[in-house]
């Protein structure tokens, strides 16, 4: 099971979202082993960007329906991680 941050980094690297557009993974209640325990969201993107985003998202939901949230801390509510392209370009 991959960590939430690793799944999000893969999505950001693949998509290369526009400047100022963060991608976010949020913890979700899974109803079974094939039902993902996460949902993704993004800011405003052009049509081509959204198409690439949705294609990669479908691939990740199939490959990693359950991700490890243990490294993500939160003060209240669901755990979430957000990344901008500039945060993963140098890593």
Number of domains in the chain: 1
Residues 6+ apart with CB under 8 A from 41: 23, 24, 26
Provide the whole-model pTM.
0.88
The boundaries of the domain holding residue 39 are: 4-88
For 5-39, what is each residue's pLDDT tens digit?
Answer: 999 999 999 999 988 899 999 999 999 888 999 99
Query: What distances in angstroms separate CA 12 from CA 31, 32, 41, 63, 91, one per listed residue?
Result: 27, 27, 12, 16, 12
For 37-47, what is each residue's pLDDT tens digit?
Answer: 999 999 999 99
């Amino acid at each position: 099971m991959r960590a939430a941050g690793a799944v999000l980094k893969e999505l950001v690297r693949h998509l290369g979202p526009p400047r100022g557009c963060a991608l976010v993974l949020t913890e979700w209640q899974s109803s079974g082993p094939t039902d993902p325990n996460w949902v993704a969201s993004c800011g405003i993107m052009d049509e081509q960007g959204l198409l690439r985003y949705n294609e990669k998202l479908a691939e990740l939901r199939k490959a990693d329906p359950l991700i490890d949230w243990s490294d993500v801390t939160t003060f209240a509510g669901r755990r979430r991680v957000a990344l901008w392209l500039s945060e993963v370009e140098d890593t």
